[in-house]
């Protein structure tokens, strides 16, 4: 299934008659539910402009991709459903709808639609899971005319950040890769500065992206995976949330023959700051103080000896402490 730019969304509306799959199946949700879709039904998901999608967005070497036969495609998705549409088949009296886990060839029959229908919604599926949906056209006597398969996926309920770090020009996020690779078309990112409080929304089509951030403030970042179908984004309802801040910039604030002071700007949204020092003959930093002040004085220093120092801003949210990126500096006193 290849992401392309389209124009309109369709919604799936359940009819009163519901065909329910009840055969036990360990490989996928045994409660998968099939529902017909009205031809004139309209959808009202998130209405946004659609960016061009880079088709070279391969998230990892060797991953598989959702693909579809000609004349059938997935047209809508939620965290527990997929909707498929197919071209009508001449002389078909009805259509058999079957489903299989994406990595399996074992299909389970969900039910039948008459030839007046060419859309179907399958409910009660697992979030973030790929399936194959097979539509078989049958004559009135039950003879199969054709069979077409569409690779489909439900929306991911959440995503995992593989790595994140301050970088040139902002803060970079590397998302965990998914398989099939195109079961996530991209990411909707909403972020807000503790200083400006303005919500900013951006869309990224690659699993690695960099947010342009200002210094001296914590940001709340919400990441939503989305699936691009029929020129519309289907966005998951639950974000992955992070609180991030660029590294603190230290400035010298004076010294004596045995002490040196540093200062820094207040970080909006921070509760306090942790000061770390790497002493001579040590290979690691030691936390020496947590403070709400924006300055620190290192005492008992030896002249012509290098000391490492870094200050990290802390923000506590719902019992969890988030930390800023860190910038390491060298301190030394010169002279006899």
Measured CA to CA, the distance from residue 212 to residue 194 in angstroms comes to: 15
Task: For residue range 21-37, list pLDDT tens digits in order.
Answer: 323 333 344 456 665 55
Q: Where are the beta strands (DSSP E) in 19-127?
A: 19-20, 33-36, 72-77, 82-86, 94-101, 108-114, 119-123
Determine how many CB atoms are found less than 10 A away from the CB of residue 104: 12
What is the per-residue pLDDT for 211? 97
Instruction: Measure CA of the first residue to CA of the last residue in the chain; give whole Å.
Output: 72
What is the per-residue pLDDT for 34? 60
Q: What is each CA distance from 307 to 139, 250, 329, in whole angstroms?
A: 83, 14, 8
What is the per-residue pLDDT for 274? 98
What is the per-residue pLDDT for 65? 93
Residues 6+ apart with CB under 8 A from 181: 57, 58, 59, 60, 63, 64, 65
What is the per-residue pLDDT for 62? 60
Task: For residue range 61-95, list pLDDT tens digits in order.
Answer: 567 999 999 999 999 999 999 999 999 999 999 99
The values of phi and psi at residue 112, to 5°, are -130, 150
Residues of the chain with pLDDT under 70: 1-62, 335-336
What is the per-residue pLDDT for 334? 85
What is the per-residue pLDDT for 31? 55
What is the per-residue pLDDT for 169? 83
């Amino acid at each position: 299934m290849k992401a392309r730019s389209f124009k309109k969304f369709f919604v799936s509306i359940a009819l009163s008659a519901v065909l329910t799959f009840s055969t036990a199946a360990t490989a996928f949700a045994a409660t998968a539910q099939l529902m017909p879709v009205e031809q004139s039904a309209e959808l009202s998901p998130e209405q946004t402009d659609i960016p061009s999608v880079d088709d070279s967005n391969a998230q990892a070497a060797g991953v598989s991709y959702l693909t579809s036969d000609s004349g059938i495609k997935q047209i809508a998705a939620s965290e527990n459903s997929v909707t498929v549409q197919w071209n009508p088949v001449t002389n078909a009296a009805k259509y058999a709808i079957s489903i299989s886990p994406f990595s399996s060839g074992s299909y389970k029959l969900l039910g039948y639609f008459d030839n007046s229908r060419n859309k179907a919604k399958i409910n009660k599926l697992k979030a973030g899971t790929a399936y194959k949906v097979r539509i078989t056209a049958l004559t009135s006597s039950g003879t199969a005319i054709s069979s077409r398969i569409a690779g489909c996926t439900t929306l991911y309920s959440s995503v995992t950040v593989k790595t994140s770090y301050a970088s040139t020009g902002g803060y970079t996020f590397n998302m965990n890769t998914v398989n099939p690779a195109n079961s996530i078309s991209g990411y909707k990112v909403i972020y807000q500065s503790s200083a400006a409080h303005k919500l900013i929304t951006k869309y990224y089509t690659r699993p690695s992206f960099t947010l342009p951030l200002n210094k001296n403030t914590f940001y709340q970042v919400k990441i939503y995976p989305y699936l691009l179908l029929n020129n519309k984004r289907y966005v998951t309802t639950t974000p992955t949330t992070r609180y991030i801040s660029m590294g603190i910039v230290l400035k010298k604030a004076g010294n004596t023959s045995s002490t040196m002071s540093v200062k820094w700007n207040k970080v909006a949204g921070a509760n306090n700051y942790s000061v770390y020092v790497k002493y001579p003959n040590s290979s690691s930093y030691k936390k020496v103080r947590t403070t709400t002040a924006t300055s620190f004085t290192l005492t008992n220093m030896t002249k012509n000896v290098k000391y490492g120092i870094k200050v990290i801003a802390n923000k506590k949210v719902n019992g969890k402490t988030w930390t800023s990126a860190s910038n390491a500096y060298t301190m030394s006193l010169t002279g006899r």
